[in-house]
Amino acid sequence: MVDVILSIVSCKFVLSKEAKVMASRDQIVGGGVLAIAIVVAIVYLYWFFLTPPEIAVWAVKIPVLIVVLAVLGIAGWIGWTMATTPPPKPVEELIGEEISPSEETKEEKPAEAGEAEKKEQ
């Protein structure tokens, strides 16, 4: 267990006692995130259980406040996006744009003009 923690902290993963392999950048970042999460968890548990109740109550209030503000922020962002995005075209218009009568006549006119020239000759 200690070897694993030391290998994460030193950013090396020990495969065996003889061979050491350098970690990739993603593994280094992952090890750092893991180490920070462990330290924060230990500090939070100490703050929640081993401090006087007047201080420990903030261990509940602060995270709840952060979560509530994050959810409201995301809801506000979704509302802003919906309010400022123009509405999409109706499906009938989209289907009509794929095959419109004006495009069909444009394609037929050059062919008809070529046939008219052949008839004149």
Q: What was the pLDDT predicted at 33?
A: 98
Q: How many CB atoms lie within 10 A of CB 31?
A: 19
Of 42, 76, 37, nearest to 59 by C-alpha is 42
Annotated domain spans of the chain: 2-50, 66-121
pLDDT tens, 22-34? 789 999 999 999 9
- What residues in the chain have per-residue pLDDT under 50? 13-16, 18-19
**CA-based end-to-end distance of the chain:** 95
The pTM (predicted TM-score) of the whole model is 0.49
Q: What was the pLDDT predicted at 14?
A: 47
Of 59, 27, 18, 67, nearest to 9 by C-alpha is 27
